[in-house]
Structure formats: structure tokens, C-alpha cells
Chains A and B, each alone.
Chain A
Amino acid sequence: MEEAEDGQLALNKLHQETFNFILSDWNMPNMSGIDLVKAIRQDPALKTIPFVMLTAQAEQKHVMEAMQAGATTYMIKPFMAETLKEKIDKIF
């Protein structure tokens, strides 16, 4: 498991190593979560990686925006660890 402080650093790491899935916040400096998922879905080498958006943005329009951008699933903060585990298990 690797961590990145912002979307741009995450994208850089994704180009360097192979990852099974991505867990990303929405609000990040340099590159937001929504911009990150858009960039990933446009990259042939990365577009199939499952992307879980974790965010406090708990409004319908945000969910729609994330799904349209290519997020695999969406979790609202605060959340229980078990719920996150269930979501990830469902993906795989």
C-alpha cells in the first residue's frame, strides 16, 4: 500500500508501479480526486484500475460527477472500516 499527498503525486506513482486499486479523497492540493480519476481513465495503462472516491462531499451532484468521471464507487466520510472493506470486496 502506497500513499500520496495529492493527485499529481498519486498519478506519478501510478506510472511507476502497479496497483490493484486506488482509494482517493476528493479535495486535494495540486490535483483533486475528480481530476485524478479523469486523468486515470484517459490513460490506457491505468484506465482499468478500480477507483474508490472517499469524500465528505455528500450531495447527489457530487456522486453523479464522480461516476461520470469514472469512479468505480463512492464513499461518504465519516465511514466505518467494515463498510470500506465491504465495498472493496465487492469490487473484487
Chain B
Amino acid sequence: MALSGNQCLEQNLKQLIESVSAFVEGELKAKAGSSCRTEIDELSKYLNKISACLLPAGQRMRVISSQVRDGIEHVSEVNQTLLEVTNKILNDTEKVLDNHHEITGPLEGLKAALAAGSLDKARMKQYLENIESLFHKNKIALMGLLTALSFQDPACQKLRKVEGGLQEAQTHLGDAMVGLGVAAKGNGVRRYQEKTSPTEKNESSLKSSAITQGEVDKMLEQSRF
């Protein structure tokens, strides 16, 4: 059965609409795909950029973490030393005071005996020997105090190392902040100048490898052969 003119037109229009729809749909799909690809490319470049910032920042964080760990170890050692030395100083000071009180006994005895005119050579000798012995004990206690007080030098050395380590960590932190875009270079990012003496410049590591006098003596003996 043949289609009428109107039916033909209608069919043609339908087909045209379908074709145009298909065409438009196809075009849109192609455009969307292209747009997505572009967006993904941009995202990929951005992620690479971030990764390039994060990697050195991550390395700096590792260094900082290690510096902080070593610093804590040094501070802990200084704390321990301070505790031990303070106890020693208190003990030795107490000994000196005790000896001081003890000396007054023989001294008073000597004075009384002199005043009474009842001092013979033997008694005088005994009093003087007692006093001499107490002075000697005091000397030992005072030497002990002197030795204990010299803890300040090694303690200062360790604290100086901690200071240097913290300064280094601060510098790394600053660089990491700039790298991550958290701070602009030179704006709130402080780099510390090293204040170490020329003899300490080589001591960049906070790691403690202290040796004892016995080990030093062994090294000295070996170096002589």
C-alpha cells in the first residue's frame, strides 16, 4: 500500500530528526570525550607538579625527624647528667659541712686545753692530727665538687649540638614550606645562620658517639705503636 504524501513527509521528517539527533549525539559524545581527555591531561600534569613538591618535602621531613630524635636523645642525656651531678654536688657539699662541724670539736678542745694550761705535746699532737685529717677529708670533698661542677662543659657541648640540629631542622622546615607553597620564599621563612665555632663546623650530625677515658687511653697506646 503506498503512503500518502503527508505520511511520506512525516516519515521523512522523523528520519531526519533521528539522523540529526544521532549526528548531534555523536558530535556531543566526541566533544565530551575530547574535553575529558584534556581535563585528565591537565589533572595528570597537576598531580605530577604536586608530586614534585611533595617528594623533596618528604625527604626534608625525614631529615627533620632524625634531627629531632637525636636532639631528644642529647637532651635526655643532659637531663640524666644534671640529675647525677646535682646529687653528687649535694652529697659532697654535705660532707664539707659535716667536716666543718667536726673540726670545731678538736679546735674547741685545743682552745680549752690552751686556756687551762693543760696542753701537753701528746694531746696537742692528737688535736692537730684530728684537725689535719678533717682538712684532708674536706679537700677530697672539695675536689669532688670541682670535678662534678665541670659537668657544665660536656652538657654545653651537647646542648650546642641540639641547638645546631634544631637550626638545621628549622631551615629544612622552611624549605619544605616554600616547596609546598605554604610560605613564600623570604616571607616568614627564616633561615638560621650557623653560630658554631670553626672547630665545630664539621659536626653536622647530632649523633652521639661519646667514648670513655679508658677507650681514649687504648687509642693513644695503639697510636704509639
- A76 & B213 in contact (Cβ 8 Å cutoff): yes
Q: How far is the CA of A47 from the CA of B113 in the complex (A)?
A: 59
Q: Is residue A46 within 8 Å, beta carbon to beta carbon, of the partner chain? A: no
Residues on B lying within 8 angstroms of A by beta carbon are 143, 146-148, 150-151, 153-154, 156-157, 197-200, 209-213, 215-216, 219-220, 223
Q: Which residue of B lies closest to A57 (CB)?
A: B157
- A79 & B211 in contact (Cβ 8 Å cutoff): no
- B213 & A79 in contact (Cβ 8 Å cutoff): yes
Interface size class of A (residues with CB under 8 A): 20 to 34
Q: Which residue of B lies closest to A64 (CB)?
A: B219
- Of A58, A59, A83, most B-chain CB atoms within 10 Å: A58
Q: How far is the CA of A34 from the CA of B212 in the complex (A)?
A: 20
Q: Is the interface of A mostly helix, strand, loop or mixed?
A: mixed
B164 to chain A, nearest CB (A): 14
Interface flags, A15-51, vs B, CB<8A=1, else 0: 0000000000011000010110000000000000000
Check A76/B157 contact, CB under 8 A, given A27-B199, A32-B197, A32-B198.
no
B223: A residues at CB distance < 8 A: 67
Check A60/B209 contact, CB under 8 A, given A67-B220, A73-B220, A78-B148.
yes
B215: A residues at CB distance < 8 A: 60
Q: How far is the CA of A58 from the CA of B153 in the complex (A)?
A: 11
Per the 8 Å Cβ criterion, residues 45-92 of A in contact with B are 55-60, 63-64, 67, 73-81, 83
